[in-house]
Amino acid sequence: MADHTAAIAGVYEHPTREAPDKSTAQLHGDVAVGALEDAGLTKGDVDSYFTAGRPGRVMAMVDYLGLQGLEYVDSTDVGGTSYVSHVGHAAAAIAEGKCEVALVTMAGRPRSRSGDGGPPSGPQADFEETYGIGTVNMYALAARRHMHEYGTTAEQLAEVRVAASEHAQYNEDAMFQDPVTVEDVVESRLVSDPLHLLDCCVVSDGGGAVVVVSPEVADDLDRDCVSVLGHGEAVKHHDAGDIDLTYTGAVESGPRAFEEAGITHDDVDYASIYDSFTITVVETLEDLGFCEKGEGGEFVEGGTLRAPDGELPFNTDGGGLCNNHPANRGGMPKIIETVRQLRGEANEEVQVPDAEIGLSHGTGGSLGTRMTSTTLVLGGDR
């Protein structure tokens, strides 16, 4: 396996959180340049391209960026975790010998350009949109049911935000840099019971990019590269009425990724966990095996998630809750911060000492209806 293990050679998170004067395509261009520079590669080295979401089909972005002679493209769109999936798909394509230098870009401007709308409606639209569903109230249903079945409290959910905010204070690009308390969270206004305003992630403009390369290319680069050790995906859905809101697709994507990487959750030094809402993190931690099902609320109490000394330091950039959730798709920053940690390039105050195994976990779609979970295991051994 080691011979074919692809590596992340470059990452770039756009520093903007509000971009009224740039187009979405322009942001893609910015992050493509940033990630290639980080890797020490050029546009001419890119032989495969991966993107999803706005502003257009993958062909339109290949054209816009002027990429030439591509041998492989992938526009898998599974919502916010699309880019986490892209890294897995790129690693597989590289292992198959289909390509050697894969560029993944994402960008969007939900703050500056309202009315971007969501994805096209599926055959379920009349049975869902008719009832005034939205992102927040669908995750609120999951929180309600988790609280009902397991006794999870609003204060426990708040601990997730508190930990993220403690980390964000060291990130000068973070949208919200002030630490908050449990009281701040539970006293913020209810958006959709039982979720408060501070249980919700930020809405930000911006984007990011990743460059995934073959082991041969990685060996020739001066830059520290991070191995893609394991990848797992799963789709979980309404199941024609049998939906259970208390778990996510991570129950399947996690074991798949861990098995491919040959690790268990005990080996994980740092985790980027998709945090569209605090409940997303609590359910995901349970599903990945960091605690038993139903014990996620207790698990996050007492500073478990805080870097650098907690049992499982998470989202040291401040996460989607405090730092960045560009284009309402938070998967890309989840990859980037894990790479920073494994390179030893996270902000000094939150750098996990000797971090060797990192997790990047993405969630796309909605816990309330249908979703995709993607788990990546990354290793800083190169």
Partner 1 sequence: MSDAGAGDLPSPDVSPTPETEKYWAAAAEGRLLVMRCADCDRFYHPPRARCPDCLSENTEWVEASGEGEIYAHSVTRQMGPPYHEATPYVVAYVELEEGPRMLTNVVTDDPEALSVGQSVEVVFHETDDGEYAIPRFRPV
Q: What angle do CA 303, 173, 104 make, to 5 degrees?
A: 95
In whole angstroms, give the CA distance from residue 335 to residue 172: 19
Q: For residues 98 and 50, give the distance between their C-alpha atoms in angstroms, rounded to a whole number.
A: 14
Preceding omega of 55 cis (within 30 degrees of 0):
yes
User: Is residue 353 at the binding interface for partner 1, with CB under 8 A as the rule?
Assistant: no
Among 17, 86, 109, 145, binds partner 1 (CB under 8 A): 145
Q: How many residues bind partner 1 (CB under 8 A)?
A: 37
- Rank residues 145 and 167 by Cβ distance to partner 1 and give the closer one: 145
For residue 134, state whether it binds partner 1 (rule: CB under 8 A).
yes
Over its C-alpha atoms, the chain yields an Rg (Å, rounded) of: 19
Shortest Å distance, C-beta 188 to partner 1: 12
Contact criterion met (CB below 8 Å) for 199 and 81? no
User: Please, which residue, 111 or 306, has the CB nearer to partner 1?
Assistant: 111
Binding-site string for partner 1 from residue 93 to residue 132, where x marks contact by CB under 8 A and - marks none? ------------------------------xxxxxxxxxx
- CB-wise, 124 or 181, nearer to partner 1? 124
- Largest alpha-carbon pair distance within the chain? 56
The minimum distance between CB 368 and partner 1, in angstroms, equals 8
Binding mask 46-85 for partner 1 (x = CB under 8 A): ----------------------------------------
Which of 27, 140, 168, 279 is in the footprint of partner 1 by CB under 8 A? 140
Per CB under 8 A, which of residues 255..294 are in contact with partner 1? Answer: none
CB 126 → partner 1: shortest distance, Å?
4
Task: Please report, for residues 11, 38, 90, 158, 197, the alpha-carbon distance to residue 62 in angstroms, rounded to integers and kept in the order given.
Answer: 19, 20, 16, 42, 38
Q: Considering the rule CB under 8 A, would residue 242 count as an interface residue with partner 1?
A: yes
| 3-state SS, residue 322 | helix
Rounded CA-CA distance 347/93 in Å is: 32
> Where on the phi/psi map is residue 153: left (φ > 0), alpha (ψ -120 to 50), or beta?
beta
Options 105-113, 166-174, 187-195, 337-345: segment touching partner 1 (CB under 8 A)? 187-195
Of 300, 302, 301, 244, the residue nearest 273 (C-alpha): 300
Tell me: does residue 155 bind partner 1 (CB under 8 A).
no
Q: Considering only residues 190, 216, 262, 345, which one is a binding residue for partner 1 as defined by CB under 8 A?
A: 190
Min. distance of Cβ 107 from partner 1 in angstroms?
23
* Shortest Å distance, C-beta 371 to partner 1: 15
Q: Residue 314 and residue 359: Cα distance in Å, rounded?
A: 9
Query: What are residue 59's phi and psi, to 5 degrees?
Result: -65, -40
Tally of helices (H runs) and strands (E runs) in the chain: 11, 11
Nearest CA among 280, 237, 223 for reference residue 45: 223
Q: Identify the residue among 2, 66, 120, 189 touching partner 1 (CB under 8 A).
A: 189
Note the helical H segments in the chain. 24-39, 58-65, 82-95, 135-150, 154-168, 182-187, 215-220, 250-261, 278-287, 296-299, 331-343
Report the residue from 39, 73, 91, 191 that binds partner 1 according to the rule CB under 8 A.
191
Among 183, 193, 259, 349, binds partner 1 (CB under 8 A): 193
Determine the interface stretch with partner 1 among 91-99, 190-198, 215-223, 332-340 (rule: CB under 8 A).
190-198
Q: Which is nearer to partner 1, 185 or 228 (CB)?
A: 185
133 touching partner 1, by CB under 8 A: yes
**Of 38-46, 164-172, 237-245, 256-264: span binding partner 1 (CB under 8 A):** 237-245
Interface residues with partner 1 (CB under 8 A)? 123-134, 136-138, 140-142, 144-145, 148, 189-195, 238-243, 245, 368-369
